[in-house]
Chains A and B, each alone.
Chain A
């Protein structure tokens, strides 16, 4: 069997060019986002989804044009974030990078003539694709483009690692991966993983922002990026939102994996290291959801659980492939 047709080679090289293009775009966007985060004006965000209505005060009256007098009791302070016009440009550049990223995955799939997630390199690229999709979604829907300065950091790191150390030429898969459960199982886990990544990054940012808030409350002056971070409540809600999306998908992905394992290996669950770690992540995110529903655990403690969960997801994607031997070896 040969897989190196001429058009495939063209696709493969297009795919490799696109990945460089998207790295450059994300790097430029990160630069601009970082400037926005560090030097933007701290602006009050519009009320909307995830944003308190009539944001701004514990008991705020707001006489609007339509004669409706609204009174909202929320614990949240006002939602503010550092903004500047550079952020808008950065968003555009990110979108451009994202388009390249989609094209890269498509051409890679065409070059290999299969679903383009069959090895570590392709996983990493797909994970970043999802994370950036999450960033764009959050930006347009929740005015959360301030996440760009944070989400693009791991994205670039991962892409760098991918290109530098994990790269392999497109090619066919080992027989164990010839199953329609592969696209289903892996796609679900990648989408969930990318969302956990956005959530984890938002969570880490929350922890910093929450400290800033605490220091302000003590009367300290907080300067620099830390002083301009978005309000902690907002970050908390964002990261929660992404987990709400990712957790059921992760659950589904694990189940799909079990069905596939049942067909391929004769058991649906065998405590292979990869399975163990996806179970660990699952349990930790379940703990996160419980923590949010438990007195005394919301806020910082819950967020730490989120960050640990994110760490286990990353560990699963990387360490388990290299450190442990198991049936799930794509490394």
Chain B
């Protein structure tokens, strides 16, 4: 369609007239016109541009797929603008109706363009090279020379020179063609893109992604309620998730201790124990950042980590009412200064709540402020602020936030190290900082279409390489006897792509043929043909 049969560059592609308006041809005509316009290269070009331009807001504005928190922050900071942006799905660009419209149109257009091509190409694959044109001199490359060899010998030798070409003899001439694969590669490439889109869609509709936080020594069963957050696809059956279980045996983060990069993480390792199903055997996996665990077709990834200081809370009578490791969220990774909340609802009396700050490696600054200077837990300290009253747990609330409306302050704890106990004022009980655990945040991901997506992408690359580097071209050789009894040999070549180098190659074929004929010894010629006769010739 964009290729040329005439030797002029493929400027006059067949889709051009498609843009011309139909006149008075009724509904069918309009439909046909719409379809032709939609499947034209120019439309594809415009849609490709829209695809690129439409992606830009997706990189400038925070996106829900990337980080819901960032979107919320942005919404809070731009209360006037944000609702408008949201109205145009600008926080969900890549799942927005308008973006979907662009790529669906593009892919309809692609299918409409490529499928007919594929059919046409399947036919062309078996076709013989076309009849030799009468006037070879009109081809983009044409050469002519005389030889003493008779026409049949010339054509016989030409066949040998045209290795890799599909050759057909028509009377006094050979017609040959090569590079059929290019078209196949192009079709393959475009179909693979369609396949990729389908695989992505399937993954989005049937898979799920979830986040889990696990403290050392605790377990997780892959069921809906066990997740901190889960993002199922439209058609995912969330009541029937893969029944595996996980346990975090141990987690270790190491950090660079010395030099300018002190504090930068150098490795994270989580020792996991897993079972494919409750009664399956136990497996072990060293989970690291680039080494996910695959269990029952679900990928489990190590996303992050943090500290979970352990606390023991006793009530006024000295009975233990709380004994747990509590995950704290870090403020930044350089120091891992972390914040957390302890909620103790069952004290027998009034409920207790604490807001805590955890410093993994505590040190005093010059001004006497206590800060963390290193992300590793070398000198852990905790400070707490206590509250007593009603935690307000009837309302759903975040485990990382204490709602202090119904509570009264109990004051602040001293700086505690592991083993220290803070006696609460008014005999309300006590809190002991009993140890430090670590936690990991994991992501589970079930996407059965991943191998298909990869397969489609790899096929696309293969098809692309073929499209870009296979050059279809035709060569004709005609041998006729002239009045003087010598044979006039005409060689003509037509490159069907605009990729350069065709003429140079045609000329090389001509020189090779001429050399063979001059040599006279069919097929026994020493391989001393210059590699680039074109350069040689014009070097004179």
Chain B residues lying within 8 Å of A47, measured Cβ to Cβ, are 504, 534-535, 537-538
Given contacts A2-B259, A73-B7, A324-B59, contact A244 B499 (CB under 8 A): yes
Q: Are A271 and B63 in contact (CB under 8 A)?
A: yes
Q: Are B66 and A72 in contact (CB under 8 A)?
A: no
Q: Are B261 and A171 in contact (CB under 8 A)?
A: yes
Would you give the 0/1 interface string for A295-327, flagging 1 where the beta carbon is closer than 8 Å to chain B? 111100000000000001000000010001110
Q: Are A70 and B254 in contact (CB under 8 A)?
A: no
B3 to chain A, nearest CB (A): 9
Q: Is A17 an interface residue (CB 8 A)?
A: no
Given contacts A68-B145, A244-B469, A266-B303, contact A271 B12 (CB under 8 A): no
A298 to chain B, nearest CB (A): 7
Count, chain A residues at interface, CB 8 A: 81
Q: Is B160 an interface residue (CB 8 A)?
A: no
Given contacts A53-B141, A176-B290, A293-B13, contact A68 B51 (CB under 8 A): no
Which of chain A's residues has its CB closest to B64's CB?
A: A271
Q: Is B138 an interface residue (CB 8 A)?
A: yes
In the bound complex, CA of A258 to CA of B507 (Å): 44
Chain B residues lying within 8 Å of A276, measured Cβ to Cβ, are 55-56, 58-59
Chain B residues lying within 8 Å of A284, measured Cβ to Cβ, are 48-49, 52
Q: Are A174 and B510 in contact (CB under 8 A)?
A: no
A300 to chain B, nearest CB (A): 13
In the bound complex, CA of A260 to CA of B454 (Å): 12
Q: Are B303 and A169 in contact (CB under 8 A)?
A: no
Given contacts A247-B464, A248-B468, contact A71 B44 (CB under 8 A): no
In the bound complex, CA of A262 to CA of B443 (Å): 11
- Contact segment of B238-246, B262-270, B372-380, B400-408: B262-270
Q: Which of B143, B443, B445, B500 sits near A241, CB closer than 8 Å?
A: B500
Interface residues of B in 525-540 (CB under 8 A from A): 532, 534-535, 537-540
Q: Is A252 an interface residue (CB 8 A)?
A: yes
Q: Which of B16, B289, B539 sits near A175, CB closer than 8 Å?
A: B289
Q: Are A64 and B48 in contact (CB under 8 A)?
A: no
Q: Is A144 an interface residue (CB 8 A)?
A: no
Interface residues of A in 157-176 (CB under 8 A from B): 169, 171-172, 174-176
Would you give the 0/1 interface string for B479-516, flagging 1 where the beta carbon is closer than 8 Å to chain A? 00000000000000000001111011011001100100
B43 to chain A, nearest CB (A): 10
Q: Is A251 an interface residue (CB 8 A)?
A: yes
Given contacts A175-B267, A264-B290, A296-B11, contact A1 B59 (CB under 8 A): no
Q: Are A53 and B13 in contact (CB under 8 A)?
A: no
A142 to chain B, nearest CB (A): 9
Which of chain B's residues has its CB closest to A3's CB?
A: B259
In the bound complex, CA of A42 to CA of B137 (Å): 32
Given contacts A171-B260, A266-B303, A286-B48, contact A251 B461 (CB under 8 A): yes
Interface residues of B in 436-461 (CB under 8 A from A): 443-445, 450, 453-454, 457-458, 460-461
Q: Which of A248, A269, A312 sits near B464, CB closer than 8 Å?
A: A248
Chain B residues lying within 8 Å of A298, measured Cβ to Cβ, are 9, 11
Chain B residues lying within 8 Å of A73, measured Cβ to Cβ, are 7, 138-142
Q: Are B256 and A172 in contact (CB under 8 A)?
A: yes
Q: Are B445 and A270 in contact (CB under 8 A)?
A: no
In the bound complex, CA of A289 to CA of B2 (Å): 12
Chain B residues lying within 8 Å of A4, measured Cβ to Cβ, are 258-259
Q: Are A293 and B514 in contact (CB under 8 A)?
A: no
In the bound complex, CA of A268 to CA of B458 (Å): 14
Would you give the 0/1 interface string for A242-270, flagging 1 where the beta carbon is closer than 8 Å to chain B? 00100110011001001110111111111
In the bound complex, CA of A265 to CA of B302 (Å): 8
Q: Are A179 and B290 in contact (CB under 8 A)?
A: yes
Q: Are B65 and A280 in contact (CB under 8 A)?
A: no
Q: Is A291 an interface residue (CB 8 A)?
A: yes
Q: Is B68 an interface residue (CB 8 A)?
A: no
In the bound complex, CA of A181 to CA of B532 (Å): 40
In the bound complex, CA of A295 to CA of B469 (Å): 21
Q: Are B291 and A271 in contact (CB under 8 A)?
A: no
Interface residues of B in 1-59 (CB under 8 A from A): 2, 7-13, 15-16, 41-42, 44-45, 48-49, 51-52, 55-56, 58-59
Q: Are B145 and A255 in contact (CB under 8 A)?
A: no
Interface residues of A in 25-61 (CB under 8 A from B): 46-54
In the bound complex, CA of A324 to CA of B458 (Å): 30
Chain B residues lying within 8 Å of A247, measured Cβ to Cβ, are 464, 468
Q: Is B417 an interface residue (CB 8 A)?
A: no
Q: Are A172 and B143 in contact (CB under 8 A)?
A: no
Q: Is B350 an interface residue (CB 8 A)?
A: no
Q: Is A75 an interface residue (CB 8 A)?
A: yes
Q: Are A53 and B504 in contact (CB under 8 A)?
A: yes
Chain A residues lying within 8 Å of B8, measured Cβ to Cβ, are 75
Given contacts A248-B464, A283-B51, contact A49 B58 (CB under 8 A): no
In the bound complex, CA of A251 to CA of B467 (Å): 14
Chain B residues lying within 8 Å of A244, measured Cβ to Cβ, are 468-469, 499
A100 to chain B, nearest CB (A): 26
Q: Is A88 an interface residue (CB 8 A)?
A: no
Chain A residues lying within 8 Å of B500, measured Cβ to Cβ, are 49-51, 237, 241
In the bound complex, CA of A48 to CA of B468 (Å): 20
In the bound complex, CA of A201 to CA of B363 (Å): 54
Q: Is B301 an interface residue (CB 8 A)?
A: yes
Q: Are A266 and B443 in contact (CB under 8 A)?
A: yes
Q: Are A248 and B461 in contact (CB under 8 A)?
A: yes
Q: Are A48 and B2 in contact (CB under 8 A)?
A: no
Would you give the 0/1 interface string for A58-98, flagging 1 where the beta carbon is closer than 8 Å to chain B? 00000011111111111100000000000000000000000
Which of chain A's residues has its CB closest to B533's CB?
A: A66
Which of chain A's residues has its CB closest to B457's CB?
A: A255
Interface residues, chain B, CB within 8 Å of chain A? 2, 7-13, 15-16, 41-42, 44-45, 48-49, 51-52, 55-56, 58-60, 63, 65-66, 70, 93-94, 137-146, 200, 209, 254, 256-261, 264-268, 288-292, 299, 301, 303, 443-445, 450, 453-454, 457-458, 460-461, 464-465, 468-469, 498-501, 503-504, 506-507, 510-511, 514, 532, 534-535, 537-540
Which 5 interchain pairs have the tightest Cβ spacing?
A266-B301, A276-B59, A179-B290, A53-B503, A266-B443
With A48-B532, A295-B10, A326-B66 already in contact, 19 other A-B pairs whose C-beta atoms are closer than 8 Å: A47-B538, A67-B145, A70-B510, A74-B140, A175-B267, A176-B290, A179-B290, A244-B499, A248-B468, A255-B458, A255-B461, A264-B301, A266-B445, A268-B453, A270-B65, A276-B55, A279-B52, A292-B498, A295-B16
Interface residues, chain A, CB within 8 Å of chain B? 1-4, 46-54, 64-75, 169, 171-172, 174-176, 178-179, 181, 237, 240-241, 244, 247-248, 251-252, 255, 258-260, 262-273, 276-277, 279-280, 283-284, 286-287, 289-298, 312, 320, 324-326
Question: Can you name 6 A-B pairs with beta carbons within 8 Å?
Answer: A1-B266, A47-B504, A67-B514, A172-B264, A175-B290, A298-B11
